Amino acid sequence: MTGQIALFIRLLLLPVAGWLAGTGLVAYDEASGTLAVSLDDLAQGLAGLVLWAGTVAWSRVAKARGGVT
């Protein structure tokens, strides 16, 4: 089961990494060989992700207590 979960997470992270590179949040500097990250844009994206995760978690809590979501 752990292997399946790890594979699922990996398959989710691959398109996310491509999206980050495609949107310009992460850029590769060939001269120095480093990755540059736009912290303001990344923080906004992470805030949205945290809010989404919170709604999913709250939905699980509500269902566990007999509520309807």
pLDDT tens digits for range 25-42: 788 888 999 988 888 887
pLDDT category of residue 54 using cuts at 50, 70 and 90: very high
Give the bridge partners for 27, in sequence order: 36
> What single DSSP character describes residue 25?
S
Mean pLDDT score of the chain: 84
Alpha carbon distance 43, 46 (integer Å): 5
Alpha carbon distance 31, 45 (integer Å): 28
pTM above 0.75, yes or no: no
Q: Please name the residues in contact with 61: beta carbons below 8 A apart, sequence gap of 6 or more.
A: none
pLDDT at 21 over 80: no
* pLDDT for position 57: 92
Instruction: Give the total residue count for the chain.
Output: 69
